Amino acid sequence: MIVIDKLCYYSKLRYVNAGEKFAYAMATLIFCLVSRSIAIALLVLAVNGILNVKTGGIPLSRYKTLMAVPLAFLFLSTIAIIINISKTPLDAFAIPVGSYYITGSHSSILYGIQLILTALASVSCLYFLSLNTPMTDIILVLHRLHCPLLLQELMLLIYRFIFVLLDIASAITTSQNSRLGNKDYKTSLKSFGSMISVLFIRAMKKSNALYDAMEARCYDGTIRVLTENYPPKKKEIIYIILFELLLLAAAIWRRFL
């Protein structure tokens, strides 16, 4: 089982109404993207961290690891924004290299920090949803929002095949390791190519078998899944509305400041 999927089933917020969690995550995500405010991003990061770790029971070390993955990509992607190579030194820093300078300005550094925090806060919103809500509940919310049935079925089938393919890939990797299939770089590349080709063939066979099984069970173009219903609570809805109003007030204050 994927780590994120395993965590969501152990989360203390799993039995909270999925519509509430979806509305909170999407509304907060929109505020982060529209406002592009450092203060709002820090607030969202703090609140989502508390909800995931303290309220949801996600281990802090695991949450840090999950947040570190997008953070590493964000640092690498913003280097080009912060650092410039120019013949004219800028006001923040300037390292001479021959007749050129590796330099940057205060505005570019501020913009880079703003970009990193906004993206990281947006990721934390998606983590809140995925770490506390099973995929079947998310698909049920999309169904109630009249999302196209084709998209829902594709999500469900892709979600299932992730586990199937991971299980097959794990078995193939274990078999290759037991036969010294990764003893050096050249052998590892050859083993990886073989695994990808076998995985593709197995995936095609599994998909055909799945379709035959669905047809044998009177598949009519719609996949029906049993779901549990957790009614929304007024207290939780009030908290969500108050927090979103706080973000709205912060965005308005920043705009007219």
By C-alpha distance, which of 92, 111, 114, 112 is closest to 102?
92
Residue 3: pLDDT over 80: no
What amino acid is encoded at 229 in this protein? Answer: N
- The pLDDT confidence band at residue 257, using thresholds 50, 70 and 90, is low
**Segment holding 100, helix H or strand E:** strand 100-104
Residue 1: pLDDT over 60: no
Q: What is the pLDDT of residue 144?
A: 86
The residue-averaged pLDDT of 12-41 equals 90
Residue 180: pLDDT over 90: no
Residue 237: pLDDT over 70: yes
* CA distances to 73, 76, 83 from 69, in Å: 7, 11, 22
pLDDT over 90 percentage in the chain: 21
What is the model's pTM? 0.80
163 vs 132 pLDDT, higher one: 132
